[in-house]
Amino acid sequence: ELLEFVGAERERGLSGRSVARLLSVLRSYYGYLQLERGEESDPTRDFQAPRVRRPLPSYLSEEEVEQLLRQPDTGTPRGMKDRAVLEVLYAAGLRVSELTTLRLRDLDRRGRLITCRGKGGKERLVPVGTAAWDWLQSYLGSCGRGALLGRRTSDRVFVSARGSGLSRQAVWKMVAAYGAKAGLGKRVGPHMLRHSYATHLLERGADLHSVQMLLGHSDIATTQIYTHVSRARLRAVYDQYHPRAR
């Protein structure tokens, strides 16, 4: 009966991920029956859930990144801040939570390095390219961050018009708005810039272990998904341009 039920759900169009979630619920239910009602049988015990393949991360091409970066109006304090946020997200591959918690003491201006705190409070040093660092320094001046703060003070690098630190939601909303303005035809978020950062590094010859360290992944298996992205891109390029690809 369980096999027939799962089979019917798959025929109805349920994905492997949804079926796996459904089986997890059923296992919890039968566990409850055993504990509370003394049931002995558990038909889910030896039932294998379908393998769920991790989806490939969405990313932007280098041209799409450049188009996105050009969207903020850098003639205003808010636009300067938004440009610096976009530049740092892409240049350093930061998670949005790492970006919003950056403090002034985390910036090494001599070495163009950022100290960020990732998952589990782990710290790592991330280099920032010249272009992104220049935009960051312009924002940190009196016409950017200084204008946003007014007479208020804050140790956060990125602040809102109210003088408080940026929230994760504000960054997501801002990036999505500029993605729509750029006409990229896809929903853009901060994590897509992180995916783009890793993908472009590997495409240009960076080794996997270095990218793992830059991203702050504790397990290199997490970083390896970007090699699949690069292979998929190589396949697409080959199919598009080789005269005997088809």
141 contact partners, CB below 8 Å, separation of at least 6 = none
Give the C-alpha separation, 192 to 59, whole Å.
5
Annotation marks residue 217 as catalytic: yes
Annotated catalytic residue, options 27, 78, 191, 233: 191
Annotation marks residue 246 as catalytic: no
Helix, strand, coil: what percent of the chain each, to 5?
55, 5, 35
Annotation marks residue 90 as catalytic: no
Annotated catalytic residue, options 112, 145, 194, 200: 194
Give the C-alpha separation, 193 to 86, whole Å.
8
Annotation marks residue 51 as catalytic: no
Annotated catalytic residue, options 117, 124, 217, 233: 217
By the 8 A CB rule, do 245 and 239 touch?
yes
Annotation marks residue 226 as catalytic: yes
Measure the CA angle with vertex 234, ends 228 and 240; round to 5°. Answer: 135
Annotation marks residue 238 as catalytic: no
Annotated catalytic residue, options 81, 95, 112, 200: 95
Annotated catalytic residue, options 21, 103, 119, 231: 119
- Which of the residues are catalytic? 95, 119, 191, 194, 217, 226
